[in-house]
Each structure stands twice: as C-alpha cells, then as structure tokens.
Amino acid sequence: MAKINVPKGEGMEAKRIWSLAPELGKAMGVMGEAVYTKTSISVREREVARMRIAQLNECHV
C-alpha cells in the first residue's frame, strides 16, 4: 500500500503515481525497458541479484 496520496482513477496504482511526475515516469519506463531487454546477464542472474538486493534491504522476498 502506498504511503502517499495516490490520485483516484482507472488503472494500476503505479501508473497513477507516476502521473504526478510524468517526466520521471517516462525516465523510469526507459530505464526499466533497458534493464529487461538490453542486458548482458541472463534472466536467472538478474533475478538472483534482485533477490539479494531485497535481502540486503530487509525486504520480504
């Protein structure tokens, strides 16, 4: 659950949050696409890295 006031409306919460700062939302979209489509590591390696980062940040995996 978000800890900020999310604009009401249709669609996913994340999309509505990024509508508050569209220039940042666009940049995050470009970065996300690069991370998932233009990477030199395998999907398996990437997911292990994500799990380790979550662990270091004390997030539930």
Per-residue pLDDT at 53:
93
pTM of the model: 0.53
CB 7 within 8 A of CB 20: yes
Q: What are the domain boundaries of the chain? A: 13-56
Q: What is the pLDDT of residues 21-59, one digit of tens each?
A: 999 989 998 998 988 888 888 989 989 998 999 999 998
Provide the 10 A C-beta neighbour count for residue 16: 15
Alpha carbon dihedral 4, 8, 9, 13, in 10-degree steps, equals 20
Instruction: Identify the three-state secondary structure at position 32.
Output: helix
Q: What is the pLDDT of residues 1-17, one digit of tens each?
A: 557 788 888 888 888 88
Considering only CA atoms, which of 27, 30, 2 is closest in space to residue 17?
Answer: 2
Radius of gyration of the chain from Cα atoms?
15
